[in-house]
A = this chain, B = another copy of it.
């Protein structure tokens, strides 16, 4: 895999974003300063990074794929109203899930590699709006 300026820009943008950007969000925040950058290049590289394990993917019902700089075991909280995503780092929780791998493998005969856990509800802002 060759190093290119585009790969570098894209990875830096994801890291600088602060949340969990989509391909288009990465593209939008780069195209002003890099008008020749192609959306296809952004998709191609984000997918490559995700397939390599250098980025995570967060897939949510009704939304384009989001990308995550955190590649270790963790969970997410997702707002059903506005789509906001928060990372949840809780080793106790992850351990509880991992402890279940053997059970699940026993009941399904699957060979498991990971789990994907999302807590779904309303973020603080949307909770406030709904109750006001």
Give A contacts to B, CB under 8 Å: 57, 59-61, 65, 77, 79-80, 86, 88, 90, 93, 96-97, 100-101, 103-105, 107-124, 127
Contacts and interface: CB of A to CB of B under 8 A. Distances in A.
Count the copies.
Answer: 2
A62 B117 CA distance: 17
B121 A112 contact: yes
A118 to B, nearest CB: 4
B107 A112 contact: no
A71 B108 CA distance: 20
Nearest to A93: B100
Given A60-B59, A65-B61, A109 B124 contact: yes
17 contacts: A59-B59, A59-B61, A61-B65, A77-B110, A79-B110, A86-B108, A90-B103, A90-B107, A93-B103, A96-B96, A100-B119, A105-B121, A108-B123, A112-B120, A114-B121, A116-B117, A116-B118
A108 B117 CA distance: 15
A115 B119 CA distance: 4
A117 B120 contact: no
Contacts of A61: 57, 59, 65
A121 B98 CA distance: 13
